[in-house]
Amino acid sequence: MNNLAIREVEKNSGLLKDFSHEQIDLIKQTVCKGASDAELQFFLCVCVKTGLDPFMKQIYSIPRGPQRTIQVSIDGSRSIADRTNKYMPGKKPSYAYNNKGELFSATAYVKKMASDGSWHEVEGEALFTEYNPGNNPIWKKMPHTMLAKCAEAIALRKAFPSHLAGIYAKEELHQAEIEEVQLDEKTSDVKQLYITKTQALEINSCMEMLDAETKENFLGYLERKCKTRKIDLIPEKEFDHIIRLLQVRLEAGKKAKEKEQAKEELHATVDNMIGETE
């Protein structure tokens, strides 16, 4: 990764205090291998906002087709809950089976301390048919363990919604990204598919790297294109176009900064030459 790209990460994301140049390069070569500079910046933004450590395998950036997806390990979710000082692990998971003896569901438990100091048990249930991704060797080998992780992630979000809303463990990501269908109350027909929470977070992170004028121009375009200025109301079919547009604007802004920097360096060189001749 070039020095200019690193400076952009530091300037736009406030990451200087969180990651060194060497660490950013290491993440680019390992955790975010194959990611563009914009995708790397987005990933580092999420790391900082969640306080999760990619080197400890608490958070990942995984390629899924033409896009990359942010995934959080169950240890990452536990870490966020633990920082509240109101979390304790619960009892071991319980399981239910259908009349054929096949795994049907898993229920996991966590403990949360209430404002009065009392502890309460919060449970989360995950159905095997909803979370099993199909032909996956890990799920075939350890279905109970994998389903229990999904159930625990659900329980953690229920217990700590202000800290874990929209954060999904990698084991449950397949379920988390199923688009929500909104029904028209009058006709009960399918009305609109909107972008997922993960996609909205990606767009918001890119927007944070825009200057105020460019951001306002983009929101104006969004209003004309999608009839809304709210990111979570962008139609799912428009996501690829919108994210490409943002990446183009980020790249244009980076080139403009490079040009301005080169211009300033040239002026400084000329001034130095003039000063030496006087």
Question: What residues contact residue 127 under an 8 Å CB cut-off, 6+ apart?
Answer: 104, 105
The pairs formed by 216-220 with CB atoms below 8 angstroms and a separation of 24 or more are 218/245, 218/246, 218/249
pLDDT, one tens digit for every residue, the chain (278 residues): 444 444 444 444 444 456 778 888 888 888 888 888 888 888 888 888 888 888 888 888 888 777 787 888 899 999 999 999 999 999 999 999 999 899 999 999 999 999 999 999 999 999 998 888 877 888 999 999 999 999 999 999 999 988 887 676 666 655 544 433 333 344 444 445 888 878 888 888 888 888 888 888 888 888 888 888 888 888 888 888 888 888 888 887 777 777 777 777 766 665 666 665 65
**Are 71 and 62 contacting, i.e. CB atoms less than 8 angstroms apart?**
yes
Looking at residue 80, what is its pLDDT?
92
Amino acid at 237: K
Question: Token digits for 90?
Answer: 């619960």
Residue 101 DSSP class: S
Looking at residue 105, what is its pLDDT?
94
Looking at residue 208, what is its pLDDT?
81
Question: Token digits for 85?
Answer: 């000082």
Taking alpha carbons only, the member of 88, 82, 79, 96 closest to residue 122 is 88
Amino acid at 245: L
CA atoms within 13 A on the CB side of 159: 31
Looking at residue 277, what is its pLDDT?
60
pTM comes to: 0.56
Looking at residue 191, what is its pLDDT?
47
d(CA 126, CA 146): 10
Looking at residue 141, what is its pLDDT?
93
d(CA 148, CA 154): 10
Strands 87-89 and 67-72: unpaired
Looking at residue 278, what is its pLDDT?
57
**Are 54 and 47 contacting, i.e. CB atoms less than 8 angstroms apart?**
yes
Looking at residue 148, what is its pLDDT?
95
Strands 181-183 and 190-193: antiparallel
Tokens 């690193």 map to which residue?
Answer: 6
d(CA 221, CA 80): 36
d(CA 110, CA 121): 6
Looking at residue 251, what is its pLDDT?
80
Looking at residue 122, what is its pLDDT?
94
Looking at residue 71, what is its pLDDT?
82
